[in-house]
Amino acid sequence: MSTITSIISAAGLLFLTMLPTFGTELTGTVFDNNENDTEQTLIDFSNTSVAGWRIVNDSVMGGISRSTLQEHEDGYAQFSGTVSLENNGGFASVRARTQRPMDLSDFEGISVRVRGDGKTYSLRLRTVKNGRLTRYSYEARFATTSGEWETYKLAYSDFSPVFRGNPVRGNPDLNSDAILEIGFMIQDGQEGPFRLDVQKLSVYRPESE
């Protein structure tokens, strides 16, 4: 198995993503379909810059929550800050966007390797439907254990469509063949300081019996 460096444009900037291949050239959004390989890396922060990631906090609606995403010398990205409930606020997030939609439909879901602080976070996705980026996001939540590195496997069926914190009418299915944006969010009135260390995001297939 070989590894190549794929350059993906995110939020107008470039970040490097290491993608495993099996002798087939990748262009950044094409994944190997070898069914014997149960997991493939999307983002590994031991070799990926955070430059293309964008902070979006509740300041967009008048809130005063703060957050940053910083590279750590030990090979992970640290998403941290303070959530405030003042001015009807209450969330902080970080996200990245690829140049083209990614077809991840050959996989069962997305796994994240993180170290949390005991709070609950959301992995959020946005997709393209009918040629347009959806206004709503799909989110799956995971509760962390303070100070412990853990891997969470989030099946596509775990993701629910939301818009401004509310369920989307009709509950449209996640179209995993056209994922354009991925990110993390803290919300649900979890006031105060937070910290989520992110080591790696991968896509996975069911393990063969």
Q: Render pLDDT for 1-45 as a digit per residue (tens, 0 to 9).
A: 322 223 233 322 222 232 222 122 222 333 444 544 789 999 999
Residue 168 included in any domain:
yes
Q: Each residue of 148-195: pLDDT tens digit? A: 999 999 999 999 999 988 899 988 999 999 999 999 999 999 999 999
Give CA–CA dist 137/89, Å, rounded: 19
Give CA–CA dist 184/208, Å, rounded: 30
Q: Which long-range contacts (CB under 8 A, 24 or more apart) does 13-22 make?
A: 13/51, 13/52, 14/51, 14/52, 15/48, 15/49, 15/50, 15/51, 15/52, 15/53, 15/96, 16/47, 16/48, 16/49, 17/41, 17/42, 17/43, 17/44, 17/48, 18/44, 18/47, 18/48
Q: Residue 206's pLDDT band (boundaries 50, 70, 90)?
A: confident
Residue 47 included in any domain:
no
The pTM for the full model equals 0.82
CATH number of the domain within which 186 lies: 2.60.120.430
Q: Is 208 helix (H, G, I), strand (E, B) or coil?
A: coil
Give the CB-side neighbour count of residue 130, counting CA atoms within 13 A: 2
CB atoms under 10 Å from CB of 93, counted, come to: 22
Q: Is 86 helix (H, G, I), strand (E, B) or coil?
A: helix
By CB neighbour count within 10 A (0-12 exposed, 13-18 middle, 19+ buried), where does 42 fall? buried
Give CA–CA dist 163/138, Å, rounded: 9
Res 204 pLDDT > 80: yes
Residue 183 included in any domain:
yes
- Give the tokens for residue 207: 């393990």
The pLDDT score that the predictor gives to residue 60 is 85
Residue 157 included in any domain:
yes
Contact call for residues 16 and 23 (beta carbons, < 8 A): no
Instruction: Tell me the residue range of the domain where 104 lies.
Output: 52-198
The pLDDT score that the predictor gives to residue 5 is 27
208 Cβ contact partners less than 8 Å away, ≥ 6 residues apart: 35, 36, 38
How many domains, in total, are found in the chain? 1
Residue 123 included in any domain:
yes
Residue 208 included in any domain:
no
Angle at 189 between CA 88 and CA 54, to 5 degrees: 75
Residue 142 included in any domain:
yes
